Amino acid sequence: MEKENALQILSGGGKDLLLGQAMDLLDGVLDYKELMMGYACAIKEINTKFEVLDTEFEVRYKRNPISSIQTRLKSQTSILEKMARMGIPPTRENIEEHLNDIAGIRVICAYIDDIYLLADALTRQDDIKLIRRKDYISNPKPNGYRSLHLIISVPIFFAESVKEVKAEVQIRTIAMDFWASLEHQIKYKQNVEHAEKVIARLKECADEIAHVDETMQEIRMEMDNIKEDTTGPEAIYEKLKKIDISLM
């Protein structure tokens, strides 16, 4: 009934203007949905690539470099706000050209060296194009923020076309992610008293966390360098356990 009423209104006399506006609106909505579909598919592609790398390490080295993977598709409101701040009309062409972080993937690792290992393994793949790399681990932000940021593009194969889609990848340790999450919450609180002291203390915490990350990596490397017996019953048992690793 609702559909019939809507069709009667749109097809009634003197409603050509309304019909044209409705068609324009629908075209715009469908165009936006198609745009976001590409970014959603890029997230799936990149997420799968990281899962494959994590599985490879589990089988070959019996450890997982990835603790967790978080994904995010930028909302329409956030897109419009960012385009407004940039002073650029929010057309599809402008969005695709000027926004690199609509598709977001955050990879959380246990150790610092795993960050660079995963970043290099990803960007060496033939279908990945590295657009920009910002290393906030070697060069932290003034507030203490640490993470490795990659802007990449990946081809998405649709039924009748192939489209290159950009995405932002952030790779950080568990400790870096913990600090960034708390800093984000504190930063958006209004009317914070003694803001300068709070900022200074956050910077101190970031430095302490960085020291912990470095220490934990040193301990792991020391453990890795310990030579184990590869011929005894325990060694054989450990190799058999590798075979039992679930690949699904």
Of 168, 204, 218, 222, catalytic = 168
* Nearest by Cα to 102 from 76, 130, 134: 76
Which residue's entry shows tokens 């190799």?
Answer: 239
Which residue's entry shows tokens 């494959």?
Answer: 52
168 is catalytic: yes
Which class for 165: exposed (0-12), middle (13-18), buried (19 or more C-beta within 10 A)?
buried
Biggest distance spanned by C-alpha atoms of the chain? 90
Active site residues: 168
